[in-house]
């Protein structure tokens, strides 16, 4: 049996981490103490104890525990478990159904759980590494409490190593000296299971005598540890979010760091380049219009060159965008304009702005009174272009950066009070 399985705790007292859920007075400990568990989704990264917690809770309340994995189970298996739970004699309607990686269930598979959860035939505990907001159907989410499990802290991981060395039936019989921990911690990525697996590999690599755990030994055994990054998972959304927000915050150091995380994780370079195009317009806009030009050139170059050279182009563009002045004035203008359209509906276009390609349209007044701005003094006619009822409505509000301040001055010189910000 692997070390991670041998070290799996059996009670909440020995359960490591997640004190916000199972510590004294915490929600799940209280629920287990009174024997009334709600259906729930346990959301958290790998190796933080989701399966272990489900087993401990079921044992604590003394209910039958049925476990399925969404990887190799379907509707048929779900219905079989529900049928057993319904006909369970004194435990009828009092069983726990644990589904690991519930996010891998399709909509129809998740639908098959609704009736059993709604009628109370089973208490569902689902475990997922993915955001339930995206991966669990709303009807099922509404019937479950969602609890977030966190990465284990450095202190908790160190405690786990000490516990394994001192208490495991096999490791405790060896002379193990933990001289250095940094490589173990990096290899774990906050995953207790991975940490114990690596520790076990080190011990097994030295079949006799003292086991001295050093950074060098760990690196030699496992090689370079790739950064955790799932292009279709939660890390994908978290890191791209941090990447864009670092550019917005004018922090090129952080932006390049998250760029490296994505590159090392194998992210599609064109996906990154597309996000830079959006950022150049949404977050920089007219504060520095050249940012959009550079982002466009970067996207085209990435398409032509490919990796690994594209990482240099992406880095150049990221540093430029992060170091540029910022303005979301254009983004806010279209956002406010869309909201205005939703509120006011299809207001007729003023007649003087309408095209009049036919005699009938001219007779109806289409285009009548239109002032051709190039014929006006200084190329400005001061005619109203907004529909009736929206005259003078301000949507674009130039930012406080130097370039848009000059745009504000120009507009004020033309429109006076209409653009008198």
pLDDT band at 346 (very low <50, low <70, confident <90, very high): confident
pLDDT band at 268 (very low <50, low <70, confident <90, very high): confident
Average pLDDT over residues 4-25: 90
- pLDDT (0 to 100) of residue 382: 82
pLDDT at 201 over 80: yes
Mean of the per-residue pLDDT values for the chain?
86
Instruction: Tell which wins on pLDDT, 230 or 101.
Output: 101
pLDDT at 300 over 90: yes
Q: Is the pTM of this model over 0.85?
A: no
Instruction: Tell which wins on pLDDT, 380 or 282.
Output: 282
pLDDT band at 248 (very low <50, low <70, confident <90, very high): very high
- pLDDT (0 to 100) of residue 308: 85
- pLDDT (0 to 100) of residue 226: 47
Beta bridge partners of 213: 178
Instruction: Tell which wins on pLDDT, 192 or 226.
Output: 192
Average pLDDT over residues 47-68: 90
Same fold, 17-148 and 234-322: no
pLDDT band at 111 (very low <50, low <70, confident <90, very high): confident
Tokens of 46: 């790998």
Residue 210's SS3 state is: coil
Task: Report d(CA 85, CA 66) in Å as an integer.
Answer: 9
Rg (CA), the chain: 31
CATH architecture of 154-222: Orthogonal Bundle (1.10)
Q: Which of 298, 319, 320 is nearest to 309 (CA)?
A: 298
Place of tokens 């009938």: 360
Residue percentage of the chain with pLDDT more than 90: 31
Fold exhibited by the domain 17-148: Rossmann fold (3.40.50)
Residue 57's SS3 state is: helix
Residue percentage of the chain with pLDDT more than 70: 94
Instruction: Give the domain ranges of the chain.
Output: 17-148, 154-222, 234-322, 350-419
Pick the CATH number of 234-322 from 1.20.272.10, 1.50.10.10, 3.30.70.100, 1.10.760.10: 1.20.272.10
pLDDT digits 0-9 by tens, 304-336: 888 888 999 999 999 999 999 999 989 999 998
Pair 63, 123: CB distance under 8 Å: yes
Instruction: Tell which wins on pLDDT, 376 or 166.
Output: 166
Residue 50's SS3 state is: helix
């Amino acid at each position: 049996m692997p070390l991670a399985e041998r070290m799996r705790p059996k009670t909440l007292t020995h359960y490591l981490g997640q004190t916000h859920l199972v510590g004294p007075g915490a929600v799940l400990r209280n629920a287990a103490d009174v024997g009334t568990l709600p259906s729930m989704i346990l959301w958290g990264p790998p190796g933080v104890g989701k399966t272990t917690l489900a087993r401990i809770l079921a044992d604590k309340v003394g209910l039958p525990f049925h476990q399925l994995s969404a990887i190799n189970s379907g509707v048929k298996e779900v219905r079989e478990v529900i049928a057993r739970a319904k006909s369970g004699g004194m435990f009828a309607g009092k069983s726990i159904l644990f589904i690991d990686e519930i996010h891998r269930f399709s909509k129809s598979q998740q639908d098959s759980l609704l009736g059993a959860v709604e009628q109370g035939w089973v208490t569902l505990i689902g475990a997922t590494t993915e955001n339930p907001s995206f991966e669990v159907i709303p009807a099922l989410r509404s019937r479950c409490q969602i609890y977030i499990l966190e990465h284990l802290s450095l202190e908790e991981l160190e405690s786990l190593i000490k516990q394994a060395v001192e208490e495991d039936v096999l490791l405790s019989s060896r002379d193990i000296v933990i001289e250095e921990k940094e490589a173990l911690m990096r290899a774990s990525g906050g995953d207790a299971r991975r940490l114990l697996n690596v520790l076990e590999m080190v011990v097994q690599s030295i079949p006799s005598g003292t086991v001295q755990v050093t950074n060098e030994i760990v690196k030699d055994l496992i090689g370079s540890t790739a950064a955790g990054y799932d292009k279709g998972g939660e890390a994908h959304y978290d890191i791209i979010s941090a990447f864009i927000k670092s550019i917005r915050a004018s922090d090129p150091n952080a932006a390049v760091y998250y760029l490296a995380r994505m590159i090392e994780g194998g992210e599609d370079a064109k996906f990154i380049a597309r996000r830079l195009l959006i950022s150049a317009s949404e977050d920089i806009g007219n504060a520095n219009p050249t940012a959009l030009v550079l982002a466009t050139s970067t996207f085209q170059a990435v398409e032509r060159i490919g990796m690994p050279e594209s990482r240099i182009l992406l880095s150049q563009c990221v540093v430029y965008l992060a170091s540029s002045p910022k303005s979301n004035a254009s983004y806010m203008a279209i956002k406010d304009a869309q909201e205005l359209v939703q509120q006011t509906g299809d207001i007729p276009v003023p007649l003087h702005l309408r095209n009049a390609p036919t005699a009938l349209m001219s007779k109806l007044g289409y285009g009548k009174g239109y002032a051709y701005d190039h014929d006006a003094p200084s190329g400005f006619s001061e005619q109203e272009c907004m529909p009736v009822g929206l005259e003078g409505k301000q949507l674009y509000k130039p930012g406080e950066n130097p370039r848009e301040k000059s745009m504000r001055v120009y507009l004020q010189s033309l429109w006076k009070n209409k653009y008198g910000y």
